[in-house]
Every structure is written in structure tokens, then in C-alpha cells.
Amino acid sequence: MSKNSIKTSTSSNSTNLKNKSDTKNIKQKQKEMETDKGENSLIIEILENYICKITYKLNNNDIKDIGFLVRISNYPIKGLLTNYQIEEKNLYEISTIVIFYNKKIYKYDINNIFIFSDKFLNSTFIELEKFEYEYIEIKEERKNIDIPLLIKYSEENNTFNYIEAKIKGKWGINIFYEEEKNYYDCDSVSSKLALITDDGLIGVHKHIDYNYNIAVNVETIVKALLLNYSNFKNNVISFEEEGISLNKSQIKELNEHGLEFTNISNVLISLPTIFVTPIWFYRTKHAWYWTPTKPHINDLNKVNWMIIFPNNSLQVIGGEWDGIEPAENNIEIIKWLETTKLKYNNVITDNE
């Protein structure tokens, strides 16, 4: 895949994102917004096509990040996707979202838009409906992954670069990859952002572990987002970091369907038999996940979790059981949890 084949990519290896005049104008506009009725705004600057810069204040400090303007394929949902640096608890401090685009200003009340933020998936999505912009596609299913490009951003030089990457494997919701050294003249202090192909955005960079770069597979982010969009469209933000506290009736229902609680918070297990190995289930605020790999109490992220989603593949991704489906009784539990939507995860509101 070549960088020039991406519909909305730039024509040079390193792109300067704005000139001095633009910077001055944006800073002036931002100052005006911050003093307007004392509001604390999240500022979005469209830098180059679908890539944008995000700024907001937290405890009087400027927080900066990079995000992508995205559209979910086959759904009328589009907006800003970024990593979890914009944590949900920080959204308490923000009253408005302000967008600078094509010399115009778009302003949103944060209480009137859909926001999805998930620490486990290292992602935050903010729906933006009221203006037209270029975006990159994200999908809930992708058959093949071409050779991707990694986008890196240098805050010091205010530039971004494309670097060829190599997929090394998948592990549950994660993609392991390597970046080609010196593929382009890249700033060594640049922030890694995301993996893209001709087919759209495929992964949001998470961290480095065991000498590999790890990105969250966008397919999983989209599925979790869709689960919450259908159930919580009018309930914008829930600030609890984990799932809801379960009452006695809910605990009994889970037990009756073959699930037992473990000593790890929000992790349940289907008890093993002589012929059936156990499956662990992770209850987050936004979705259920399952894995045949025993999770560690101190680091749930090391496990190959698979999201529970309607008509999702039931094959294990990565590890000893890669490509194998669970035993029939475990499949029944997965299918049942699929039908419960978010009953045991979050507070469902009436959207009618």
C-alpha cells in the first residue's frame, strides 16, 4: 500500500499542519471561547483532511491530543475518535465543544451530544453531526488487513508522518505490529496514533509491550460503540468507570445461566467439567468480553478478550486455542449474554 493511495492523505511524507497566521487566529478564537460565559471548551482544529488537533484545560493545564474524523460504514454515525487521554472524569470539566473548520466555528453543548469513552478500549468517540467534513471509514468487520501505514505526530514541529508498518498478529481485541525503521524521516519523539490502510482506519495505538507496538482493533471499538449508541443515544455520558453494581436478582440470573463470580472484580467464569474447559467473562460498562485464557488479577489487558456482539465470530483470536470455538455450553452462555444487551453493564434509558 502506498501513502498516496489513501483518498484523504497528504502528498508529502511530512506535512506542516498550519501556518503562523492560522495559529494566531485559532489562539485568538480559543481565547474568546474560554472567556465566553466562563465556559471551558474542548477545542477541535481540523489540521489536514480527517486528522485534527484537540485542546482543553484540566486543572489550569492545557491538555493536547490528536484525533480522527471518522464515519462508521453502513451507519449514519460520524464524529471524532481519539484515544483515552480525554478520560471520562475529565469530561466533567468541559461544557462545550468548539470546532474550527473552513474558517467557520461550530459550537456544541456537551450535554446534547453522544459521547462514548472506554478506558479498556483506549478510545473516546464524540458524535459530530452538524457540519460536513472529510472523514476516514471505520468498520465493524474487515476480512483482510493490507500492509498498513502508521501515522505519527510531532507536537514540537506540528507535523505528521506516515510510516509503513507490519502486522505481527492478533491477540483478542489487540493488533501487534512493528514499524519499519527509517521508512520516512520521522521525529523520534513523535506520538504514534493509528494504523490505516486503503480500506480505512484499522487500529488505534495503545502502548508498547514485549518490544511490539500494540493497537486496539477498531472493529472492537466500533462494536462496543454501536452497542451503546443503540441503547444510550439520549443518555450522553455515564461517568462510572466500571459496570453498574448488580443487585441480588441480577446476580441470581447470572448464576442460573452458568456464571460464577471470581476474586477479580467484574470477571466471571463458566465452571469447568471433566470434558469442558472454563471460559472467563469480563463485564465492563460498555460490553461483555470472553476468553479461554485465565486472566491475571493485576493486568486484565494481557488476556486475549473477544467482544460479545450480535452475529460475532465465536473463534478464539490468538493463543493456544486460536481459531477454535468454545464448547457448546459456553457458546450458549455467550449467546445468552448477547441477548441481554447492556442489562448487567449500564443503566438503560428509555429512548422513545
- What are the pLDDT digits (tens) for 330-345? 999 999 999 998 889 8
The domain in which residue 168 lies consists of 138-219
The pLDDT assigned to 28 comes to 55
Cell 507490519 found at: 166
Residues 288 and 304 in one domain: yes
**Does residue 100 form part of some domain?**
yes
Residues 181 and 120 in one domain: no
Does the pLDDT at position 12 exceed 60? no
Does the pLDDT at position 63 exceed 80? no
**Does residue 93 form part of some domain?**
yes
The pLDDT assigned to 316 comes to 96
Half-sphere CA count of 289, side-chain side, radius 13 A = 27
Residues 144 and 125 in one domain: no
Give burial (CB, 10 Å; 0-12/13-18/19+) of 106.
Answer: middle
The pLDDT assigned to 19 comes to 45
List b or e across 252-280, with b for residues whose CB sees 16 or more CB atoms inside 10 angstroms.
Answer: ebbeeebbeebebebbbbbeeeeeeebbb
How many domains are there within the chain? 3
**Does residue 26 form part of some domain?**
yes
Residues 253 and 315 in one domain: yes
Amino acid identity at 241: E
**Does residue 308 form part of some domain?**
yes
Residues 167 and 108 in one domain: no
Residues 122 and 38 in one domain: yes
Overall average pLDDT of the 108-119 stretch:
81
Give residue 108's pLDDT band: very low, low, confident or very high (50, 70, 90).
Answer: confident
Name the pairing type of β-strands 159-171 and 96-101: unpaired
Of the three residues 135, 165, 200, the one that is the final residue of a domain is 135
List b or e across 296-333, with b for residues whose CB sees 16 or more CB atoms inside 10 angstroms.
Answer: eeeebbebbbbbbbeebeeebbbeebeeeebbeebeeb
Overall average pLDDT of the 61-65 stretch:
76
The pLDDT assigned to 331 comes to 96
% pLDDT > 70, the chain: 75
337 vs 322: CA distance, rounded Å: 22
Q: Which helix (H) or strand (E) holds 333?
A: helix 328-339
**Does residue 46 form part of some domain?**
yes
Residues 24 and 123 in one domain: yes
**Does residue 12 form part of some domain?**
no
The pLDDT assigned to 76 comes to 85
**Does residue 29 form part of some domain?**
yes
**Does residue 231 form part of some domain?**
no
Residues 51 and 63 in one domain: yes
Residues 149 and 186 in one domain: yes
Q: What would the pLDDT profile of 164-185 be if each residue is shown by its tens digit?
A: 888 888 999 999 988 876 444 4
Give burial (CB, 10 Å; 0-12/13-18/19+) of 205.
Answer: buried
Give residue 210's pLDDT band: very low, low, confident or very high (50, 70, 90).
Answer: low
